[in-house]
A and B are shown apart, each in its own frame.
Chain A
Amino acid sequence: SQTIHQWPATLVQPVGSPLSLECTVEGTSNPNLYWYRQAAGRGLQLLFYSIGIDQISSEVPQNLSASRPQDRQFILSSKKLLLSDSGFYLCAWDRGRRETQYFGPGTRLLVL
């Protein structure tokens, strides 16, 4: 069966510090991968999606970037965090049909 992991589960970072959140998927190959941000427990905003290694599309301009160095690994990064980057970050995957999208457990980020 397929599983999706995210770490860390929780992170507190000072403003201006770098960020690296990792997402990995097991039990499948060539998945589409997604990063979402959820503010205040409501609404999901799509940040990035990837259809393959080193193929990243950005949905909204922001202080964040994404990379996919391996087929089942998706990384969300920032060089300098802003207060507004706080939120709940969710990674998701599917097999190319959006209706079968599965979410990871999420990373809660607090920027102080």
Chain B
Amino acid sequence: GQQLNQSPQSMFIQEGEDVSMNCTSSSIFNTWLWYKQDPGEGPVLLIALYKAGELTSNGRLTAQFGTTRKDSFLNISASIPSDVGIYFCAGLKTGNQFYFGTGTSLTVIP
């Protein structure tokens, strides 16, 4: 069943603003992933995190693997209209158990 809680569920922001979203669990994960899904398309992997405390950037995106290993965060700086979409976190646990979050829908207002 679903073990990852993503928040916020949806966001409406002005172009140029920064965005923060997070993913939490009551369980420990070994790997955290962040995907973006454009409308009508499959999710695309943005960032993968493999170590507690790890901070990784991909352009204007920065993600962090929480030190407790139970959460992860994604930040988008200086948002642009093409950032619109649904952002999913995903986590991998011991035993190759893989879970997706419920998604954060982002709308950027020009």
A42-B87 Cα distance, complex, nearest whole Å: 10
Question: By the criterion of a CB under 8 Å from any partner CB, how many residues of chain B are at the interface?
Answer: 23
Interface size for chain A: under 10, 10 to 19, 20 to 34, or 35 or more residues? 10 to 19
Stretch at the interface among A12-20, A69-77, A78-86, A100-108: A100-108
Asked if B86 and A41 sit within 8 Å, CB to CB, the answer is yes
Which residue from A43, A100, A105 sits with its C-beta under 8 Å from B100? Answer: A43
Residue of A nearest to B35 (CB): A103
Which of A22-69 touch B at CB < 8 Å?
A: 41-44, 46
Asked if B103 and A42 sit within 8 Å, CB to CB, the answer is yes
Residue of B nearest to A43 (CB): B102
Which residue from B2, B40, B44, B105 sits with its C-beta under 8 Å from A103? Answer: B44
Which of B26-66 touch A at CB < 8 Å?
A: 31, 33, 35, 39-45, 48, 50
Does B92 have its Cβ within 8 Å of any Cβ on chain A?
yes
A41-B42 Cα distance, complex, nearest whole Å: 10
Does B88 have its Cβ within 8 Å of any Cβ on chain A?
yes
A108-B48 Cα distance, complex, nearest whole Å: 28
Contacts A42-B103, A98-B92; is A90 near B48 (CB within 8 Å)?
no
B1 to chain A, nearest CB (A): 10
Name the 7 nearest CB pairs between A and B, nearest first: A103-B42, A98-B98, A44-B100, A99-B31, A106-B42, A103-B43, A98-B92
B interface residues with partner A (beta carbon < 8 Å): 2, 31, 33, 35, 39-45, 48, 50, 86, 88, 90, 92, 96, 98, 100, 102-103, 105
**What are 15 sample pairs from A and B whose C-beta atoms fall under 8 A apart?**
A42-B103, A42-B105, A44-B88, A90-B42, A90-B43, A98-B31, A98-B92, A99-B31, A101-B33, A101-B45, A101-B98, A103-B35, A103-B43, A105-B41, A106-B42
